Amino acid sequence: MSDVSDQTMIFGCGYLGRRIARLAILDGNRVWATTRQRDKQQELASEGIQPIVADWTDRRTLKQLPAVKHLVICVSYDRRSAHNRYESQVGGLRNLLHVISPETKVCYISTTGVYHQQGGWWVDEASPTRPSRDGGRAHLMAESLLNQMRPKSPWTILRLSGIYGPGRIPRAADVIAGRPIASPQHGFLNLIHVDDAAEAVCSALRSRTQRLYVVSDDQPVVRSRFYEEIALQTGSKRPKFVTPDTGSPVMMRSESNKRIWNRRMKRDLLPKLQFPTYRNGLADILSPNKQR
């Protein structure tokens, strides 16, 4: 049997997963990553990643997964899928956990969307979770499944705030073009730069950690201030806001209004963030001299 002590598999190798893979490779790991599309295999291989074609909703594709020491699960729900969110996020996870060794350390990427709090309350790992949206509910069910199926195995859940980074700044194009922002001005955004998120994941894999962490930067920001900062850093006009349609995704997301307290993450995983606030992150991404 081959040595698995330096092998990592990333299930769902997208925006965040690619950065996790790069860090794991720099750490000397052999990295496997899954894709559901065969034409993505060469793209992964070009980055030094061993590609696997797999779909966790199809058990047949999970039979030949490699034995690894670490497994990162960061599968995003595909709205084009023939499966609903619960069949995919919960049923798919169940299928995967059935074939993974109990010795494999799992890092499951969840979301701060599991929190329902309003009124700008501070929340942390001990706060109650009563999500109103399907995404938060599905992730909470998946978290519970992980606990049920692997009670004595090593695993960590990371509840991530909104990920932003190069090529992914919410509404930046609208701000720069001077288009009205269909978003409430008030309420807090909780964010984490994708590079810091990847570092948190790798730290969780390397360390003896607790079961649960929230992952967020040091400064929750009122929505209007975030967009105003984009305008300031790009020399654009101050944004104007319009009320989003009732029942629209952005309106539903804004119904939860809380601030994430990252003290456990700072203590155990990332004592110092590369981008501790949204201002630092935006300055790095929006710099005209920044090469990516």
CATH code, domain carrying 90: 3.40.50.720
Please check whether residue 123 lies inside any domain of the structure.
Answer: yes
Please check whether residue 108 lies inside any domain of the structure.
Answer: yes
Please check whether residue 247 lies inside any domain of the structure.
Answer: no
Q: Are 207 and 268 in contact (CB under 8 A)?
A: yes
pLDDT of residue 211: 94
Size of the chain, expressed as the number of residues it contains = 292
* Residue of 237, 127, 218 whose CA lies nearest to 177: 237
Query: ∠288-189-235 over CA atoms, to 5°?
Result: 25
Q: Are 170 and 140 in contact (CB under 8 A)?
A: no
Q: How many domains does the chain have?
A: 1
Please check whether residue 32 lies inside any domain of the structure.
Answer: yes
Please check whether residue 175 lies inside any domain of the structure.
Answer: no
Phi, psi angles (nearest 5°) of residue 122 = -80, 135
Structural domain including 15 reads 7-165+192-218+257-274
Pair type for strands 191-193 and 162-164: parallel
The residues with which 168 forms a beta bridge, in sequence order, are 165
- DSSP category for residue 27: T
Which residues in 1-37 are b (16+ Cβ under 10 Å) and which e? eeebeebbbbbbbebbbbbbbbbbeeeebbbbbbbbe
The secondary structure element, H or E, covering residue 125 is: none
Secondary structure class of 118 (helix, strand, coil): coil
* Residue of 169, 171, 191 whose CA lies nearest to 182: 171
Where do we find the tokens 């992952």? 215
Cα-Cα-Cα-Cα dihedral sign, residues 268, 274, 276, 278: negative
pLDDT of residue 251: 61
Euclidean distance between CA atoms 280 and 9, whole angstroms: 31
Please check whether residue 54 lies inside any domain of the structure.
Answer: yes
pLDDT along the chain (292 residues), means of 10: 72 94 94 88 92 93 93 86 83 95 96 94 96 93 96 96 95 94 91 98 91 97 96 94 74 78 97 97 84 42
The residues with which 108 forms a beta bridge, in sequence order, are 73, 157
* Residue of 161, 285, 275 whose CA lies nearest to 215: 161
145 vs 90, 137, 153, CA distance in Å? 8, 12, 13
Q: Where are the alpha helices (DSSP H) in the chain?
A: 15-26, 41-45, 85-86, 92-99, 134-149, 172-177, 194-206, 223-234, 249-254, 263-268, 278-286
Please check whether residue 182 lies inside any domain of the structure.
Answer: no
pLDDT of residue 281: 97
Please check whether residue 223 lies inside any domain of the structure.
Answer: no
pLDDT of residue 2: 44
